[in-house]
Structure 1
């Protein structure tokens, strides 16, 4: 077997490639980085637990409801809860929908392909016929616009698929926090390996979706569709939410003549790994909703770390956003390693070269991200 060492990479992010090849992560290993990542992922695990439950509730119990006024109540509607909702004393489920719509719009993966298949359209026809059998206005609308109902059901499929994806991720992040508390997670590479192993373990879990209408259950994504957790929800999620997403409304013009947004969807770089944390807290900035939810669920040790920073509580949401981006670079590292063509520690020169090319491809996408900014722990 040939074991000639690889020549140093000429890539602008060669130092990060070297670190990955040596068993490291996109994020440097330090005590503060470890505390930030685990702490914010613990909070995120709690938040995702609420998010996935609501997404599943909407997909299963608000199926083709024209006016889903109480979709954020998870079936528990009371006057006290309504007051809290108006006072905004609740989880910001709008952010979950924002991520769902990013996945729905960008597409990709087996789920996107399946939702355009004749098999899916046949199942949609059966479910919508039963759901709307007594709704003459909508049935008439569907005849005039035959793509209207299938498109609504496609979106509901993304509600369900993202909910199922986040259900796994929520447990993963909370288990990671427990392992950290028990002393078995001691470094950023430990975090990455924990997430990578969990992703691989869940990779082939089936993604399915069915709704109850009357006394019957109607499959929309049957198990026979062959959709799975990692390739059909995880990878499209990373692509849509971590990399592409949408420009924040109010920060750039959506007017086509202004040309402030690329007309090429493939060139969108507005995702979580690219977003400048500084606008967080401003009106119309979707991550503000997530940072507010994370703020309410921070573990004490992470809150104390933020209080020791120069501005203390004054820029708390921004600090949380920075930590969140650091954690997402760890999740990205885990996904990268999980999809590597060959083992990262291979000694075969040909396999090493294939891995190097693979990593350089990732670095090409990340070169304009916040990756260079998180190389120094600055809390």
Structure 2
């Protein structure tokens, strides 16, 4: 009889492979970790609700509007809302667009492949013809610059795809918070299991996109494209946002001769699992906008943790970023387990080997991430050096 016991992995991060093979999360179990993860995901869910509504509004109602001055207003332009906007007393929808453009730039997955297809090109041209009907000036510009409007529609497709993805994730994280407050979520393992079940349940949801132009409905991403939530949007999102990301202006040099940015996109490591939280709060750092938005919706129990820290709420955006990274390691754990070729509790030797190879591939990506930091005991005291 063939033994089902594999030799220990020789990978430098083998300890985390052991953790995943045992079905545990990449974030250690602790009461404080649980409170931080659930609390920050509740705040994140509220922000994602606003982001997704705006992205979908732009995709559907601002279709090929060349100068969309009021795209962040969701169709409700009033004097009080305009004053709040100018005073910056609002949700930072610019961050949602930053994420969308990051996904667009990195590409990958079924959505990216479809947008390079002849079917998309044909549907885009039909939508352009309908939108420009009677507009001789824009028709002339389209003839002179034939690639401009199709590229805009390509970008709008990412608005819609990301909006649909975040709609699902917002509802999932709100349900997680409700379960926690009802006493049904009691551990980090419960969090991962809940998120995994949510991702699996939504995996085959169709991703479609159409716009109404006059009295005509124009398909951009029809159901026949067979794009789905998990494979075609969620996985490229994890790749582009959790791992690759983009280098923040002012933090590293964009000068090619400085060689501070990898030459290949696949080598980028600026995503949410890699980012140093300390620059958060600095001008030009996009996640600052997300942390600022989440700050407005923190549950009381999470605010109390931040208040009791060394600096109180003076560095609350940094603390929010740290909690957010912890939560993303939980989401990443759920993603890894959900995409594994076989269940982690399999007893088949060949399946175990396949899982081991799969996990080692993931660990290659984590080598410069904040994974080691996330697995250190939380220390919120101001004592930098131990007493002698």
TM over 0.5: same fold? yes
Contact persistence 1:120–1:221 (CA under 8 A)? yes
- Match of residue 386 from structure 2: none
Instruction: Tell me the secondary structure at the aligned position of residue 184 of structure 2.
Output: coil
Render the CA deviation track for 1:266-285: whole Å, top value 9, x for unaligned: 11111111100000000000
- Give me the whole-angstrom Cα distance separating, in 2, the residues matched to 1:259 and 1:214: 50
Q: Which residue of 2 is the match for residue 187 of structure 1? A: 187
Counterpart in 1 of 2:223?
A: 223
- Aligned twin of 2:170: 170
Instruction: Show the counterpart of 1:133.
Output: 133
Secondary structure in 2 aligned to 1:89?
coil
| Secondary structure of 1:282 counterpart | coil
Q: How many Å apart are 1:259 and its aligned residue?
A: 2.7
Structure-1 residue corresponding to 2:349? 349
- Residue number in structure 2 paired with 1:364: 364
Q: Give distance in 1, aligned partners of 2:266 and 2:99.
A: 17
Match of 1:301 in 2: 301
Which residue number in structure 1 is paired with residue 334 of structure 2?
334
Q: Shift of the alpha carbon at 1:82?
A: 0.3
Structure 2-normalised TM-score? 0.96
Please give the per-residue CA displacement for 1:152-206, whole angstroms capped at 9, x wherever unaligned.
Answer: 0000000000000000000000000011111111111111110001000000000
1:22 match: 22
Report if the CA contact (8 A) 1:241-1:271 is conserved. yes
Residue 219 of structure 1 aligns to a residue whose secondary structure is strand
CA distance in structure 2 between the partners assigned to 1:57 and 1:152 by the alignment: 15
Q: Residue 148 of structure 1: CA displacement?
A: 1.1
Q: Secondary structure at the match of 1:330?
A: helix
2:37 corresponds to which residue? 37
Distance across 2 between alignment mates of 1:92 and 1:188: 30
Aligned mates of 2:9, 2:40 — CA distance in 1: 33
1:359 Cα deviation (Å)? 0.7
CA contact (8 A) 1:3 1:347 kept: no
**C-alpha separation in 1, matches of 2:186 and 2:284:** 38
Post-superposition offset of 1:227: 0.2
Residue equivalent to 1:199: 199
Distance in 2 (CA, whole Å) between partners of 1:262 and 1:137 is: 42
Q: Distance in 1 between matches of 2:68 and 2:253?
A: 30
- Partner of 2:4 in structure 1? 4
**TM-score normalised per structure 1:** 0.98
Structure 1 residue 330, shift from structure 2 partner: 0.5
| Equivalent-residue separation in structure 2 for 1:138 and 1:362 (angstroms) | 48
How big is each residue's C-alpha offset from its partner over 1:320-343, in whole Å with a ceiling of 9 and x where there is no partner? 000000000100000000001110
Residues 33 and 377 in structure 1, CA contact (< 8 A), matched pair in contact too: no
Question: 2:65 maps to what in 1?
Answer: 65
* Residue 155 of structure 2 corresponds to residue 155 of structure 1: yes
Matches within 5 A, 1:79-98: 79-98=79-98
3-state DSSP of counterpart to 2:263: coil
CA distance in 1, matches of 2:4, 2:336: 24
* Equivalent in the alignment of 2:74: 74
The structure-2 alpha-carbon separation of the partners of 1:257 and 1:135, relative to structure 1 and needing over 3 Å to count, comes to: farther
Distance 1:195 1:127, change over 3 A: same
CA distance in 1, matches of 2:244, 2:375: 22
SS at match of 1:158: helix
Q: State whether structure 2 residue 208 is matched by structure 1 residue 214.
A: no
Q: Which residue pairs with 2:233 in the alignment?
A: 233
SS at match of 1:210: strand
In 2, Cα distance between equivalents of 1:191 and 1:314 = 29
Residue 249 (structure 2) pairs with residue 257 (structure 1)? no
SS in 1 for 2:220: strand
Partner Cα separation in structure 1 for residue 4 and residue 208 of structure 2: 47
Give the C-alpha shift of residue 308 in structure 1. 1.1
* Correspondence for 1:55: 55
CA–CA distance in structure 2, aligned partners of residues 267 and 249 of structure 1: 18
3-state secondary structure, aligned to 1:217? strand
SS at 1:293's partner residue? helix
CA distance in 2, matches of 1:12, 1:237: 26
Instruction: Give the length in aligned residue pairs.
Output: 379
2:384 is matched with: none
Task: Choose 3-12 or 287-296, whichever is displaced more.
Answer: 3-12
Which stretches in structure 2 are left out of the alignment for 5+ residues?
381-388
Contact 1:103 1:241 in 2 (8 A): yes
